Amino acid sequence: MERISILELVEQIPDEASAYRFMEKLRWPDKPVCPHCGSINDHRFLNPENGTSRRTRTGSHSQRRVWKCRDCQSQFSVITGTPFHGSKVPLRTWVFVLFEMCANKNGIAAREIQRKYGVTAKTAWFMTHRVREAMKVGVAPKFSGTVVVADETWIGGEPKNMHANKRPTRGKGFSDQTPVLSLVSMDLGKNEVRSQVVPNVKGSTLRAAITEQTDLPNTTLFTDSAMAYRELTPKVARHVMVNHKAGQYVKRGAGTNAAENYFSQLKRSIDGTFHHVSVEHLPRYLAEFDFRYSTHQLTDTQRMQRLMGQTAGRRISYKRIAEQP
């Protein structure tokens, strides 16, 4: 899909019917797929051929574009099985919020969505979190055959404690901060990052998390020289340890710089845009930043397309997909 600006998007989507059409292009580039049974039969379009609106059972008019599955006979629309399903917010507003969250490097605060789109604070908050939920990658294969940069950082606490150098904020007295482990897989323009909240930064915890996500014998691992990581040296193809304090990130190549850039972006955004993120919701914010970082080579609309694909895939079981010809 082509590159697009928010203004063009507003022009392209003047009403609900066009919002549905826009989402359909993203989710079903070829033809509608039944989200209930996975069928790609020629489903029956229930809206009148030439009109955009459809009379509902209660007698009101709806611009929701609806199909009836030829196989399982269920009705569905493009948002069935997505985080936008069952929401009272117009799909048009969802598309704009989705676009802003995909396009803005720092994300967008719920407060800004409230102001821009005239929804309540509570609605704005739920919208952003539903989109974040959709941005979660889910089950993915281990990183393999790449350079993986592993680093941990602390999120939260007083802003004045959140300078780039994480060392001084460690230890007792900073229990309001949450440790986060990020793994950046460096793969020629296909960099991917996976971040997770970890219960602590003990060596055993960090090593278990890295081992779970990484095919160690086929990985060149970049870490700092913390003891926690040293036990991984015999298990990986190559282990490069850099000394943060000595400023060796610059010296040891672009690889680790990318990871550092990711962390500073994450922290800047959480400080600047969100001010305070509770531990409970942190995994969703991490999913949002990971998603944008891992799709940085895509255009904003391609990124939306990826997101729609992800949400759709999650609701249909693998078995159902596999049964299709």
Q: Which residues bind Zn ion (CB under 5 A)?
A: 34, 36-37, 39, 69, 71-72
Three-state secondary structure along 201-253? CCHHHHHHHHHHHECHHHCEEEEECCHHHHCCHHHCCEEEEECCCCCHHHHCC
Our CB check for Zn ion shows the closer of 41 and 225 to be 41
- Shortest reach from residue 19's CB to Zn ion, in Å: 23
Our CB check for Zn ion shows the closer of 268 and 320 to be 320
- Shortest reach from residue 34's CB to Zn ion, in Å: 3
Our CB check for Zn ion shows the closer of 33 and 287 to be 33
Structure tokens at 47: 């809206």
Rounded Cα gap, residues 216 and 230, in angstroms: 13
Count the neighbouring beta carbons within 10 Å of the beta carbon of residue 298.
15
- Shortest reach from residue 171's CB to Zn ion, in Å: 56
What are 192's strand-pairing partners? 185
- Shortest reach from residue 68's CB to Zn ion, in Å: 9
What are 242's strand-pairing partners? 224
Rounded Cα gap, residues 279 and 283, in angstroms: 8
Our CB check for Zn ion shows the closer of 37 and 110 to be 37
- Shortest reach from residue 95's CB to Zn ion, in Å: 25
Our CB check for Zn ion shows the closer of 69 and 109 to be 69
Is residue 176 a contact partner of residue 157, using CB atoms and an 8 Å limit?
Answer: yes
